[in-house]
Amino acid sequence: MLWESPVCRVVRVADPNYPGFCRVIWTAHIREMTDLDAGERRSLMDVVFAVEGVIRSLFAPDKINLASFGNVVPHVHWHVIPRWQEDRHFPEPIWGTVQREGRPGAPTVDDATLADALSRALGGSTQ
Amino acid sequence: MLWESPVCRVVRVADPNYPGFCRVIWTAHIREMTDLDAGERRSLMDVVFAVEGVIRSLFAPDKINLASFGNVVPHVHWHVIPRWQEDRHFPEPIWGTVQREGRPGAPTVDDATLADALSRALGGSTQ
């Protein structure tokens, strides 16, 4: 857990190919974004975009990818993924065909640093 | 073109495997969501979620997938994709491994019907 509020939490995804990959998970069991009301959607997207901003500032990726699928687990959550031109799938989405044995030349950022940056961006509780 | 405003437009993606697949494209050349200001982000996401609502009401998919990548064309745009359990890639994202020669049993909805529903949901101009 990197950050949490009463309505959602931010976790880091342990994928060695994608350092900095985070997930924002809505706490209540909701299937689709349009099952939330407008205020709830706004709260959630504010967190998603704050996570994007923090990842950009700490990892300086070539691109940010955002996605909400929920095909396997139909519970609203967002993937926030920093991408590098030399990463494993670029320019494909990370669910696409492997392009190379890529490892991005991303800076090493530990969980505490990431959690602190999220807490500064979003306020509220941290790990 | 299904719908447009001064800041963005909604187009239908011609993919026979994914009827109802729409794309919301920000007009100005912007790379990342966090390069927009908070009001612009909100305006764009309001359109994305309105498109999701219209697609749900017209196509009744099993799930909605939302994604913003821009790895190939780094210009902010959102994919809004209705998914069915028997579609070509389910439960993988549509950029993942083909699962079957699937064709969803989706209703046929022509562009004019989709454009009219968007115009009712969003106001403003249509095709």
Q: List the structure tokens of B106.
A: 């989706």
- Give CA separation, B40 vs A60, B27, B73, in Å: 23, 11, 20
CB proximity list for B37: less than 8 A, separation 6 or greater? none
Query: Is position B127 within any domain?
Result: no
Q: Point out which residues pair with B81 in neighbouring strands.
A: B65
At A58, phi and psi to the nearest 5? -85, -35
pLDDT in tens, B78-98: 999 999 999 999 999 999 999
Substitution target in B69, B77, B95, B98 with the highest count of A β-carbons within 10 Å is: B69
Substitution target in B18, B24, B30, B34 with the highest count of A β-carbons within 10 Å is: B34
At A126, phi and psi to the nearest 5? -125, -160
- Do residue B65 and residue A68 have CB atoms under 8 angstroms apart? yes
Q: List the structure tokens of A53.
A: 């901003």
Nearest CA in chain A to B67: A67
- What tens-digit pLDDT sequence spans chain B (127 residues)? 999 999 999 999 999 999 999 999 999 999 999 999 999 999 999 999 999 999 999 999 999 999 999 999 999 999 999 999 999 999 999 999 999 998 777 899 999 999 999 999 998 654 4
Query: Is position B81 within any domain?
Result: yes
Query: Is position B126 within any domain?
Result: no
- Domain count for chain A: 1
Return the pLDDT at A70. Answer: 96
* Cα separation, B49 vs B44, whole angstroms: 9
Single-letter residue type at B46: D
Query: Is position A54 within any domain?
Result: yes
Query: Is position A16 within any domain?
Result: yes
Structural domain harbouring A58: 3-121
**Longest Cα pair distance anywhere in chain A, in angstroms?**
42
CATH number, domain containing residue B117: 3.30.428.10
* Rounded (10°) CA dihedral A11, B96, B93, B5: 110
pTM of the model: 0.96
Query: Is position B8 within any domain?
Result: yes
- Give CA separation, A1 vs A22, A34, A56, A85, in Å: 10, 26, 19, 28
Chain centroid to CA A98 = 21
Query: Is position A109 within any domain?
Result: yes
Residues in chain A with CB shorter than 8 Å from the CB of B104 are none
Give which of B55, B63, B114 is closest to B86, Cα–Cα: B63
Query: Is position B87 within any domain?
Result: yes
Give which of A127, A69, A80 is closest to B52, Cα–Cα: A69
Return the pLDDT at A127. Answer: 42
